[in-house]
A and B are shown apart, each in its own frame.
Chain A
Amino acid sequence: QVQLVQSGAEVKKPGTSVKLSCKASGFTFTGFTMHWVRQAPGRRFEWMGWINPGDGKTRYSQKFQGRVTISTDTSASTAYMEVTSLTSEDTATYYCARALGLYSSLFDYWGQGTLLPVSS
């Protein structure tokens, strides 16, 4: 069955970086766009970007352009998202989500989420 297993919770200080992972199983990893979405406490979901594992093509929300990098290791069926220059505003739970297909913007499977508190 389809599974997306994300890396564990991290605690980070402002100004540092973090790289989150999302290991996929149960489907052909290169056949589906992978998105990253976050939800800060008490806030709505916020889309960050996507990657097509097959060709490495990416698209980012303008809000995060230059500060977020999404990548994959297709041999490990794993997607990554690196966020730099963290601030307290980045405190959120981060989710990877599989799209319905290539270039789709609908999400049919989500990871369990990675909690990321950013605090000095």
Chain B
Amino acid sequence: DIQMTQSPSSLSASVGDRVTITCRASQSIGEWLAWYQDKPGKAPRLLIYKASNLQGGVPSRFTGSGSGTEFTLTISGLQPDDFATYFCQQYETYPLTFGGGTKVDIK
């Protein structure tokens, strides 16, 4: 199975900050990577697919980049609604696998 390693596991930031989260795959997955936002009591929300494509309705402050084994999610200008957990998912190979998540909380 492809292992997905996210870093950091948590971070503290302020409104307006630029935040970067990294996801590393144990083998190359091309660009077959997605990012989700997860909040307590709510369903996860798809943000980014195919490494850098913004899902409809997602604000442009979310950007994704990378290919192969290293990927990043950047939030430019953190908003109060962005405090949440973010996780990556590879969909290059079955079984689909997920990162362990990065919790973004208020500094």
> Could you tell me which A residues sit within 8 Å of B by CB distance?
44-47, 59, 61-63, 95, 100, 105-112
Contacts and interface: CB of A to CB of B under 8 A. Distances in A.
Interface string B63-102: 0000000000000000000000001010100111111110
Given A44-B87, A44-B101, A108-B55, A59 B43 contact: no
Q: When A and B form their complex, which 4 residue pairs have the shortest distance between CB atoms, in order from nearest? A: A110-B43, A105-B91, A47-B96, A61-B95
Contacts of A62: 95
Contacts of B34: 106
Given A107-B44, A109-B43, A45 B91 contact: no
Could you tell me the dominant secondary structure of chain B's interface residues?
Answer: loop
B94 to A, nearest CB: 7
B62 interface: no
Contacts of A95: 43
A107 B46 contact: yes
Contacts of B89: 45, 106
Nearest to B101: A44
Nearest to B99: A44
10 contacts: A44-B87, A45-B87, A45-B89, A47-B95, A105-B91, A106-B49, A108-B46, A108-B55, A110-B44, A112-B43
Contacts of A59: 94
Contact of B97 (A47, A100, A109, A110): A47
Contacts of A108: 46, 55
Most buried by A among B44, B96, B97, B101: B96
A95 B89 CA distance: 15
Contacts of A46: 98
A70 to B, nearest CB: 14
